[in-house]
Chains A and B, each alone.
Chain A
């Protein structure tokens, strides 16, 4: 090992490449340093300070996401000082705004009062919409803290529900800035930024207008990036809990980018879509169609049975009857008029396997090469 570029984390001597941060080195070696604001591939901001670590000889704790790894550094990621600091940060975060999950109020003696408050805040009888799927809640459990030590600060901004896709709940925003990085550094839609100062800070779209009146294109990158319940898909909010769904990885069926995505399935229906992080071609990003355009799958207008037209009207038919009818007519036309009487249109929307079968059928059975598809680009 080149002694020039090594540092010690929790007693392990580890190599690093110049330019890497302490967090980069730790992650490469499966050492878990918790983060809230850190967004992969975007410039680290050090905003949330959850990733602080103790470095021998340093006067204060350093944020691992911004501190460059240095030769001979000795780093502790879970020292007493570090843990105390994280606990304090978490308590403050839990107390700022509406973090009414069990993490904040579980040992509150007045449980009824607590529940009533939750209902009033959310106008819903349910727990926080991302309960069980929240980075802040996870960390509160991990470090065993609640927000009760500090008085709760109320957030003056009402929830924004006026667009079809995303609910913005400012009372749960921890101002980590991940959404802003997702929007401005990853998607580069430049729709949102921090507005106002100090305690009034808020993530705003141009001139503090609703998203629907801004440059927002509803790609949902910010929703996927938000670690808490401040940004949630409208249709998912309170309806879908992570433990109720199964995720199936697949490829988007809209444009030619072929984004990799997860379909979240609940009771046999697709209820939510997220991008698959870390793999090509989209590395987690999606657009509005891929993320929100899945309702057609379970549309009541889907065709569910073969149909045969009789006297100008469709009637339902069995597969056998419909397929026989098709085969008979194809055979008749082939016998009477030859293969040149046929055309087959296959599709840019069906799979490779199905396209292959369609052209094989055209060529080997109908005996013509008249197979094409409509989209020529």
Chain B
């Protein structure tokens, strides 16, 4: 989210899900929307089918939503900055940008203009493989709309240039004045149910709740007072992607992992496993005995969403309730209760009657949630920011001003992906999700029907590549990268683009992340899951 925060001062979906249906043009990139956010994809499809919206899709794979696209750009992996700059080149050259918006609401336009100067459609074609004319057409289509919405997901962020990619999309939206209006915006689609909430609540090393920086002494003082403690750190903490190497090096002694399974989701799994084994003391709190929990010194059983009260914040910043429907199994507890009990035993009292009492405390220290209460979100959730009890919530961000004042254009040059295909590893690998499974599969794989539809890992490969490497549909192959190898079944599919294979990351037994690259985006710390070089061969 660092990219959006840099451009606008706030890094969340700027518009609502329902808003998508009002857009005249929708640009989707790096999101296999029908599989990862099925219900959002229906809003897009309805807009196209019934409201005459035009869809631009930038995605190399023939994903389902491609059937609805008016313009489909199949860029080479890792070349997003280039095609976005190319579109802006055309828009500026043909004078299609929103001059009033650029003038009044933004800064840095001249730098942007100078940067995109060299990104002519022809130059962009060279880098991205997208025909020059398609860049021109897409640019005109996007710029022609009164209101155009941009939707993106991990296909944009999981690159070493992830932050740059996001800033580029923000550039494009501001250039055409698509901010702060219905049917517009830059909209990251959150993969997991409560990523938004985890971030809002300060589950990040650099900020408290509502993105209040931890390295600001006023904030530290405020939180120390609210929590009744002293001596809190004003240093930015470690990102998860720094924790693993520090554990490997022995500086990090202990991890307390709540509801995560980094041993399937982390990039470069072999290294992660060795690092975690090197810890002095590992506590894992989860609903299942995950691959990570297997390595723990203590495992604590927690209640799942159906067994507790609380709130989730969805991808459109809407805070919604969850309610207890059934009892947790055995002795499992709510996660908050477990953490509070540990705190108490370490001499600090954290005592709450229920999750609503915690929510009240949250509203006291979290400006964007200050006006919310369980009562107010009982029937329909509200969008933060909602600063006061009579504030109606904020469905659309930045309608008059950005939190940082003016929106900033970032002039961004193209950097090629960290790892290139070569003679030893001639193909690219990209990873992602499938409709019937979720994340590391710990939940979905417990439903037989979902497994029947998506039983095991597979390697998706184009018919041309299958021919070239003499591989049959259904055969078991070995996929090797510089970091490891896995075996999986081949699915020959015209979804795949020649030269690139796709592997879903849900399956522990053939974890795609044994192959992926831990090279990180320098700002966000997001690993480059989406591009690495591999070799595919028939399994011995």
- Please give the residue numbers on chain A whose beta carbons come within 8 Å of chain B beta carbons, in ascending order: 164-165, 185-188, 212, 217-219, 234, 248-260, 263, 265, 268-270, 279-282, 285-290, 292-299, 301-309, 314, 317, 319, 322-327, 329-331, 333, 337, 339-365, 367-377
The interface residues of chain B lying within 8 Å CB-to-CB of A249 are: 321, 323
CA of A56 to CA of B346 in the docked complex: distance in angstroms? 80
**Of listed A219, A344, A357, A370, residue having the most chain B CB within 10 A:** A357
**Of listed A290, A345, A361, residue having the most chain B CB within 10 A:** A345
The interface residues of chain A lying within 8 Å CB-to-CB of B539 are: none
Q: A298-B329, A343-B238 are in contact. Are A257 and B205 (CB under 8 A)?
A: no
- Residue in B closest to A258 when the chains form the complex, CB atoms: B314
CA of A286 to CA of B435 in the docked complex: distance in angstroms? 12
Can you offer 22 A-B residue contacts whose CB atoms are under 8 A?
A251-B320, A251-B321, A253-B193, A296-B444, A303-B286, A307-B301, A326-B300, A333-B253, A342-B253, A346-B203, A346-B259, A349-B192, A349-B259, A350-B194, A351-B305, A352-B312, A355-B197, A355-B203, A358-B339, A361-B350, A374-B262, A377-B153
- Residue in A closest to B241 when the chains form the complex, CB atoms: A372
B449 part of interface (Cβ distance < 8 Å): yes
B508 part of interface (Cβ distance < 8 Å): no
B113 part of interface (Cβ distance < 8 Å): no
CA of A66 to CA of B354 in the docked complex: distance in angstroms? 50
The interface residues of chain B lying within 8 Å CB-to-CB of A341 are: 251-254
**A296 to B358, Cβ gap below 8 A?**
no
CA of A251 to CA of B231 in the docked complex: distance in angstroms? 38
Q: A292-B450, A377-B188 are in contact. Are A354 and B37 (CB under 8 A)?
A: no
The interface residues of chain A lying within 8 Å CB-to-CB of B123 are: none
- Residue in A closest to B68 when the chains form the complex, CB atoms: A188
Report B316-328 CB contacts with A as 1/0, cut-off 8 Å: 1011111111110
Report the minimal beta-carbon distance from B292 to chain A, rounded to whole angstroms: 9
- Residue in A closest to B383 when the chains form the complex, CB atoms: A280
**A369 to B342, Cβ gap below 8 A?**
no
**B345 to A280, Cβ gap below 8 A?**
no
Other-chain residue from B50, B345, B350 in contact with A360 (beta carbon distance below 8 A): B350
The interface residues of chain B lying within 8 Å CB-to-CB of A327 are: 342, 345-346
The interface residues of chain B lying within 8 Å CB-to-CB of A331 are: 346
**A353 to B281, Cβ gap below 8 A?**
no
Q: A344-B255, A353-B362, A372-B204 are in contact. Are A295 and B190 (CB under 8 A)?
A: no
The interface residues of chain B lying within 8 Å CB-to-CB of A302 are: 287-288, 301, 304, 329-330, 332
B residues 229-281 in Cβ contact with A at 8 Å? 229, 231-233, 235-240, 243, 246-247, 251-262, 265-266, 280-281
B411 part of interface (Cβ distance < 8 Å): no
CA of A327 to CA of B188 in the docked complex: distance in angstroms? 38
The interface residues of chain B lying within 8 Å CB-to-CB of A317 are: 298
**A357 to B449, Cβ gap below 8 A?**
no
Report the minimal beta-carbon distance from A342 to chain B, rounded to whole angstroms: 5
B195 part of interface (Cβ distance < 8 Å): yes
**A257 to B17, Cβ gap below 8 A?**
yes
Other-chain residue from A305, A349, A361 in contact with B194 (beta carbon distance below 8 A): A349
**A345 to B288, Cβ gap below 8 A?**
no
**B192 to A348, Cβ gap below 8 A?**
yes
**A217 to B447, Cβ gap below 8 A?**
no
Q: A253-B305, A323-B341 are in contact. Are A371 and B205 (CB under 8 A)?
A: yes
**Of listed A187, A249, A306, A371, residue having the most chain B CB within 10 A:** A371
**B235 to A369, Cβ gap below 8 A?**
yes
6 new A-B pairs (CB below 8 Å) besides A292-B450, A296-B447, A364-B343? A254-B438, A297-B326, A323-B345, A358-B339, A365-B348, A370-B238
The interface residues of chain B lying within 8 Å CB-to-CB of A342 are: 252-256
Other-chain residue from B233, B258, B283, B525 in contact with A369 (beta carbon distance below 8 A): B233
B66 part of interface (Cβ distance < 8 Å): no
Across the A-B interface, give the 4 residue pairs with the lowest CB-CB distance, nearest first. Answer: A304-B330, A258-B314, A256-B190, A351-B310
Other-chain residue from A212, A295, A362 in contact with B447 (beta carbon distance below 8 A): A295
B101 part of interface (Cβ distance < 8 Å): no
Report B30-43 CB contacts with A as 1/0, cut-off 8 Å: 00001011111010
- Residue in A closest to B247 when the chains form the complex, CB atoms: A343
The interface residues of chain B lying within 8 Å CB-to-CB of A296 are: 287-288, 304, 442-444, 446-447
**A294 to B447, Cβ gap below 8 A?**
yes
- Residue in A closest to B35 when the chains form the complex, CB atoms: A217
**B258 to A303, Cβ gap below 8 A?**
no
B448 part of interface (Cβ distance < 8 Å): yes
**B193 to A251, Cβ gap below 8 A?**
yes
CA of A333 to CA of B40 in the docked complex: distance in angstroms? 46
- Please give the residue numbers on chain B whose beta carbons come within 8 Å of chain A beta carbons, in ascending order: 1, 16-18, 34, 36-40, 42, 45-46, 49-50, 153-154, 157-158, 188-206, 208-209, 214, 223, 227, 229, 231-233, 235-240, 243, 246-247, 251-262, 265-266, 280-281, 283, 286-289, 293, 296-302, 304-308, 310-316, 318-327, 329-336, 338-343, 345-346, 348, 350, 355, 358-359, 361-362, 379-381, 435-436, 438-439, 442-444, 446-450, 452-453, 524-526
**B379 to A279, Cβ gap below 8 A?**
yes
Other-chain residue from B198, B301, B452 in contact with A306 (beta carbon distance below 8 A): B301
The interface residues of chain B lying within 8 Å CB-to-CB of A268 are: 326-327
Q: A309-B298, A322-B298, A345-B262 are in contact. Are A351 and B322 (CB under 8 A)?
A: yes
The interface residues of chain A lying within 8 Å CB-to-CB of B246 are: 343
**B237 to A354, Cβ gap below 8 A?**
no
Count A-B contacts at CB 8 Å: 463
Report the minimal beta-carbon distance from B248 to chain A, rounded to whole angstroms: 12
**A270 to B325, Cβ gap below 8 A?**
yes
**B201 to A356, Cβ gap below 8 A?**
yes
Q: A268-B327, A323-B341 are in contact. Are A187 and B42 (CB under 8 A)?
A: yes
Q: A339-B233, A350-B258 are in contact. Are A219 and B38 (CB under 8 A)?
A: yes
Q: A265-B326, A288-B435, A353-B362 are in contact. Are A188 and B45 (CB under 8 A)?
A: yes
**A374 to B350, Cβ gap below 8 A?**
no
Other-chain residue from B201, B214, B259 in contact with A352 (beta carbon distance below 8 A): B201
Other-chain residue from B34, B253, B283 in contact with A337 (beta carbon distance below 8 A): B253
CA of A323 to CA of B313 in the docked complex: distance in angstroms? 30
The interface residues of chain A lying within 8 Å CB-to-CB of B1 are: 376-377
CA of A345 to CA of B435 in the docked complex: distance in angstroms? 26
**A374 to B260, Cβ gap below 8 A?**
yes
**A372 to B38, Cβ gap below 8 A?**
no
CA of A352 to CA of B200 in the docked complex: distance in angstroms? 8
Other-chain residue from B193, B229, B359, B446 in contact with A255 (beta carbon distance below 8 A): B193
The interface residues of chain A lying within 8 Å CB-to-CB of B286 are: 303
Report the minimal beta-carbon distance from B17 to chain A, rounded to whole angstroms: 5
**A301 to B229, Cβ gap below 8 A?**
no
Report the minimal beta-carbon distance from B382 to chain A, rounded to whole angstroms: 10
Q: A348-B192, A359-B203 are in contact. Are A258 and B318 (CB under 8 A)?
A: yes
Q: A289-B436, A344-B258, A348-B198 are in contact. Are A372 and B203 (CB under 8 A)?
A: yes
Other-chain residue from B197, B336, B449 in contact with A164 (beta carbon distance below 8 A): B449
The interface residues of chain A lying within 8 Å CB-to-CB of B436 are: 288-289
**A250 to B306, Cβ gap below 8 A?**
yes
CA of A289 to CA of B261 in the docked complex: distance in angstroms? 19
**B260 to A256, Cβ gap below 8 A?**
no
Report the minimal beta-carbon distance from B346 to chain A, rounded to whole angstroms: 5
The interface residues of chain A lying within 8 Å CB-to-CB of B196 are: 256
The interface residues of chain A lying within 8 Å CB-to-CB of B296 are: 307, 309
Report the minimal beta-carbon distance from A225 to chain B, rounded to whole angstroms: 14
**B453 to A348, Cβ gap below 8 A?**
no
**A279 to B195, Cβ gap below 8 A?**
no
**B334 to A251, Cβ gap below 8 A?**
no
The interface residues of chain A lying within 8 Å CB-to-CB of B262 are: 345, 374
Q: A295-B446, A350-B259, A365-B343 are in contact. Are A359 and B252 (CB under 8 A)?
A: no
- Residue in A closest to B340 when the chains form the complex, CB atoms: A357
Q: A303-B287, A304-B332, A353-B358 are in contact. Are A285 and B42 (CB under 8 A)?
A: yes
CA of A259 to CA of B449 in the docked complex: distance in angstroms? 21
The interface residues of chain A lying within 8 Å CB-to-CB of B324 are: 248
**A358 to B329, Cβ gap below 8 A?**
no
**A279 to B310, Cβ gap below 8 A?**
no
**A217 to B34, Cβ gap below 8 A?**
yes
